[in-house]
Amino acid sequence: MSLLPEVIGRIILARFLSLSLKRYETEINKVESSGIIRDFFPDIITFKVFPRAGVAGDKERFPRNTVARIEEDNETFSIRYRFLGFAGEYCLDRGKLNRLTGRENSAGFGKDEIGLLDRQLRLISTRNRITHLTLLGVIEHQSAYLKTCDPLKLVPLSQMRMSRWIKDQGYPSIDNSMISRLITGTFVIMPDGKSRLLKDFFPSSREICKGYLKGILAEEGMELKSNRLDRPYTDEEIKVRLKELYNLKVSRRTVSYCRDQLGIPPFSRRTYDNRYPPTWAQFSPYFPMTASSVRENVPDMPGTYELSFENAGIEYPLETAGVFYIGSSKDIRKRLRAHLGCWSKNGDLNALIHGDKCFLPVCSLQ
């Protein structure tokens, strides 16, 4: 059973959208270096740069898998692509092209060669246009985040919502699977110069809720300690606070799910114990942060831990304490050994641990 031409075309486009940026750039260079495009340019084929798009200078370096830089431009943003071939689309004079395919042209190119070039340029233009519209959609929906670079300014954005927005811009042949293929593994540079996965601009409501929830419960703790609040918030009250403070509308069940995911006890377990650490958290006695001590005192199970300096007092808003790091892990022994090892990914924490005498207690969750 043979597939319909439309189905074959979608399969080819899906594979083309899944190409890595390096492979895609190679494909563009291969097409542009062919004799046929040089012969047809610019009489039959032209290249048009998208609105609000530009190209980085030759000396500007982009990290690997980075497609563009989003730059603040007065009250809005513009997109500066790392490579000219990403920044626009090819325009073909169909009348002249059709006349060429009906006879042998002066350059000696046959009908099959011209047809292949036509398909290649359409694929490149389609990918570039979807990429550009997706970036414009990110600017449209996440402008508050781009202006402040504050993660709390991110708003929920699904790929389906983005595809609907792109359709509203006059590009109907789009679906969320195309966007998914394009953004996977692709980075953009933020206005503050930091690189960020394009996929991170599409957080779910639950992911946004978790970030806001941390802030609300941190506020709750400070209010309780200063006696401005006589009890913790219930999940229903947190839901209301999310709507009031961040205009985030979620269900109480979503609040409960996110709270559980963050390891935060429910209202009933926080009501009668507002101190830190709470009495239900059975922390071990303090012991030195050394490899032998961790091996003897820390179980290989889920739990939390505090890292403290021996004689240092750190000024916090409500009190002075020696604690400089609180962490959790599914295997706290493995995590602490990683902190102590030379392969630790957290260089700043590693320097603190080895720069002064460090002690800790642990709390097993099993």
Give yes or no: residues 181 and 132 share one domain: yes
Q: What is the pLDDT of residues 288-321, one digit of tens each?
A: 888 888 888 888 888 888 888 877 677 766 567 7
- HSE (side-chain half, CA atoms, 13 Å) at 306: 17
Q: What is the pLDDT of residues 179-226, one digit of tens each?
A: 999 999 999 999 999 999 999 999 988 888 888 888 888 888 788 777
62-76, 163-177, 340-354: least confidently modelled range? 340-354
Give yes or no: residues 251 and 294 share one domain: no
Q: How far is CA 244 from CA 63, 143, 216, 239, in A?
A: 39, 21, 11, 9
Domain end (from 270, 297, 322)? 270
Give yes or no: residues 196 and 210 share one domain: no
Give yes or no: residues 227 and 298 share one domain: no
Write the single-letter amino acid at 295. R
Q: 121, 131, 129: which is closest to 94 by C-alpha?
A: 121
Contacts with 245 (C-beta within 8 Å, 6 or more apart), sequence order: 212, 216
pLDDT score of 86 more than 60: yes
Give yes or no: residues 226 and 141 share one domain: no
Residue-wise burial string across 86-110, b where 16 or more C-beta atoms lie within 10 A, e elsewhere: bbbbbebeeeebeebeeeebeeebe
Domain membership of residue 277 (yes or no) is: no
Alpha carbon distance 228, 247 (integer Å): 24
Give yes or no: residues 99 and 43 share one domain: yes
Give yes or no: residues 118 and 131 share one domain: yes
Structure confidence at residue 82 (pLDDT): 92
The CATH number covering residue 348 comes to: 3.40.1440
pLDDT score of 274 more than 60: no
DSSP-derived secondary structure letter, 363: E
> Is residue 18 very low, low, confident or very high in pLDDT (cuts 50, 70, 90)?
very high
Q: What is the pLDDT of residues 164-190, one digit of tens each?
A: 999 999 988 898 899 999 999 999 999
Domain end (from 201, 234, 258)? 201
- For helices 235-246 and 252-261, the axis angle rounded to 10 degrees is 100
Cβ atoms of 356 and 297 within 8 Å: the answer is no
> Is residue 356 very low, low, confident or very high in pLDDT (cuts 50, 70, 90)?
low
- Token digits for 120? 């290649």
Structure confidence at residue 19 (pLDDT): 92
- The count of other CB atoms within 10 Å of the CB of residue 138 is 22
Give yes or no: residues 85 and 197 share one domain: yes
Give yes or no: residues 315 and 250 share one domain: no
Cβ atoms of 363 and 283 within 8 Å: the answer is yes
> Is residue 253 very low, low, confident or very high in pLDDT (cuts 50, 70, 90)?
very high
Beta strands in the chain (DSSP E): 45-49, 53-55, 66-73, 76-81, 88-92, 187-189, 195-197, 287-288, 303-309, 314-315, 320-321, 323-329, 358-360, 362-364
Domain count within the chain: 3
Q: Look over the chain and give the mean of its residue pLDDT values, rounded to a whole number.
A: 84
pLDDT score of 103 more than 70: no
Mean per-residue pLDDT, 88-103: 74
Alpha carbon distance 359, 331 (integer Å): 19
pLDDT score of 237 more than 80: yes
Residue-number span of the structural domain to which 353 is assigned: 287-364
Contacts with 289 (C-beta within 8 Å, 6 or more apart), sequence order: 307, 336, 339, 340, 353, 358, 359, 360
Domain membership of residue 276 (yes or no) is: no
Give yes or no: residues 355 and 245 share one domain: no
Structure confidence at residue 313 (pLDDT): 74
- CA torsion angle 117 118 123 128 (round to 10): 100
Give yes or no: residues 212 and 238 share one domain: yes
Alpha carbon distance 183, 253 (integer Å): 30
pLDDT score of 133 more than 90: yes
Q: Taking every pair of C-alpha atoms in the chain, what is the biggest distance, in angstroms?
A: 89
Q: How far is CA 218 from CA 11, 51, 89, 328, in A?
A: 49, 44, 49, 17
Domain end (from 270, 298, 313)? 270
Give yes or no: residues 30 and 99 share one domain: yes
Alpha carbon distance 361, 137 (integer Å): 47
- CA torsion angle 177 54 48 185 (round to 10): -20
